């Protein structure tokens, strides 16, 4: 994952770059963990439609929710992103959990990360650390804005 463990990549292996949710979550979790220490956390992703979802209601081999039409529903789903972060950041293994909501949009997803940290910090201090990281070591990987954006 860029910004997290890319330095350990060995080009003799052909690997994937993890999921879009993991690529969003891992750098942010690493910045927070390196600066404040994450004790535990919950991530929630609101995720756009994927190719594996049904366009009309029908049976699903995975679960009954997966059989619902993605065009008309917000569908709670599992995500492996939190577990994947524990694989690329071993010190976070078992500390994060997560859930996903699949929503009827063509593109765009968002990750919300709530953590309990070891080192006391204000909301402003956490924002300042993330902003500084986005302008330095994580430039091109993490972007920071306080603009009122929409998808």
State how far the Cα of 70 lies from the Cα of 44, in Å rounded to an integer.
Answer: 18
State how far the Cα of 25 lies from the Cα of 81, in Å rounded to an integer.
Answer: 8
Catalytic: 24?
no
Q: Could you identify the residue written with the tokens 């529903």?
A: 73
Q: How many residues comprise the chain?
A: 151
State how far the Cα of 75 lies from the Cα of 68, in Å rounded to an integer.
Answer: 8
Catalytic position from the list 20, 99, 117, 121: 20
> Is there a contact between 63 and 52 (Cβ–Cβ < 8 Å)?
no
Nearest to 92 by CA among 43, 22, 30: 30
Q: For 141, left (φ over 0), alpha (ψ -120 to 50), or beta?
A: alpha
Active site residues: 20
């Amino acid at each position: 994952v860029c910004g997290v463990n890319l330095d350990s990549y060995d080009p003799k292996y052909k690997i994937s770059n993890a999921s879009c949710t993991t690529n969003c979550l891992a750098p942010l979790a690493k910045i927070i963990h390196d600066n404040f220490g994450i004790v535990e956390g919950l991530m929630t992703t609101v995720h756009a439609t994927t190719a594996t979802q049904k366009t009309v209601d029908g049976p699903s081999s995975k679960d009954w929710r997966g059989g619902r039409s993605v065009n008309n529903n917000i569908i709670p789903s599992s995500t492996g992103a939190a577990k994947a972060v524990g694989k690329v950041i071993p010190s976070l293994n078992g500390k994060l959990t997560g859930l996903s909501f699949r929503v009827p949009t063509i593109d765009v997803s968002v990750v919300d990360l709530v953590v309990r940290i070891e080192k006391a910090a204000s909301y402003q201090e956490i924002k300042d650390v993330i902003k500084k990281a986005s302008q330095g070591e994580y430039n091109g990987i993490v972007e920071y804005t306080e603009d009122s954006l929409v998808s």
